[in-house]
Structure 1
Amino acid sequence: MSRTEYATAAHYEYDKQLARAAIEAYFSTGPGLDHVRGSILTEVELECERDGIFLHGYADNVVRTDDGLQIIDYKPSVRYELSTSDRAKEKLREHLAGEDYHPRIVKSAIQVATYIEGIQNTSVYEPGMEVVFTYYGLLANTDLEKSTAGVRPRVSGYGRDVEETYYSEEETIWGLIQRAHDGIRENNFEPIQWDAIRENACDRCDYRSMCTDALAEEVQF
């Protein structure tokens, strides 16, 4: 990043140190060396199709393992990504049923579906291979280390394998994809959980100043 994109030199220097600490942790105590040595594809476009729905995305890294393939998507943190917990699976079902609103986890689940199905359409996949999908948070844990030399960031990463959730909730996830696909094709963008969206997203929306719903709330009679 350029220094001009930061408000102060201190912010720029901190981010620079944070990035360096993350890379060092990834290769010293993390899985970085294994990810590099086993890597067979990077920034690869993966495509899949089901019931007339075509999806594609770009996977950060694909690693060959003893049992098959590991798809790795690198994130600063994995806090909001799909997990294997029973609660995560329940959230997917709630979203599909219109009982609650969980856009972040749904977005993550669609990405997992695209990559797991997409890798099977590449030349590196062989029938019977185990496919693992890993979210790896490079900045999963951050802290400040203080010494007489000053203060510097201390970082450790964390990986989360989530393919089990995809396989156990495959029908739910593709139901979510189908509904989104149909809504786009039919120009039907009315959100089911509008109140939840308004509560959680509207205050941070860049288009608030031109939104008729937002402007209507500000009109005083």
Structure 2
Amino acid sequence: MAPTPEESTLLQALRNGDEAAFALLVDRYHGQLLRLAMAFVASRAIAEEVVQETWIGVLEGLARFEGRSSLKTWIFRILTNQAKTRGVRESRTVPFSPLGNDDADKPSVDPTRFLTSGYFVDHWASPPTPWDEATPERLLLSKECGQRLEQAIEALPPAQRQVLVLRDVDGLSSEEVCNVLALSETNQRVLLHRARSRVRRALERYLEGDASTP
């Protein structure tokens, strides 16, 4: 995905040393980069340092940027490279696994939730809790639910967390995520499905009042 016309204009301004253009870039992507960095390293402080190193890398690499991807994808790829390098140096992060092998053999949905006999075998025995029930009680719990959601995301295996953050939090397309994390489309899809399933299970337990269940 090549740079958009707006990105091309911004890129030219950056290459001309336009400080306002750089400030715009930082304002637009800093938060997203920090979230992604925290999916790679062990603390917010280290993540902040990784993001700062990323911006330095952006400035130093502007002249070499060939436009084979969008400017956004290029910046995020610099971040992932910086984060992986820093993680290895700090020895505080799990190496990235393309298929998330830490639970590769586990089903995305608990098998006990499906019927094992009868006419409706393999159908839901315990269907998922609906997420669109905007009852007053649910609305009052929305802030705490958001906190539970953050905890569920933080508890994901690193590879799943990275894909989920990029897709569902930062809104990158599947193509962009594949480029940023150097994944195949199939691997990206599998990781995203597993991540969403795990987060959904965690929120279901919370909404059902069983937040203590692992």
Greater fraction helix: 2
Which structure has greater strand proportion?
A: 1
Q: TM-score range by the shorter chain?
A: under 0.3
What is the TM-score with the length of structure 1 in the denominator?
0.22
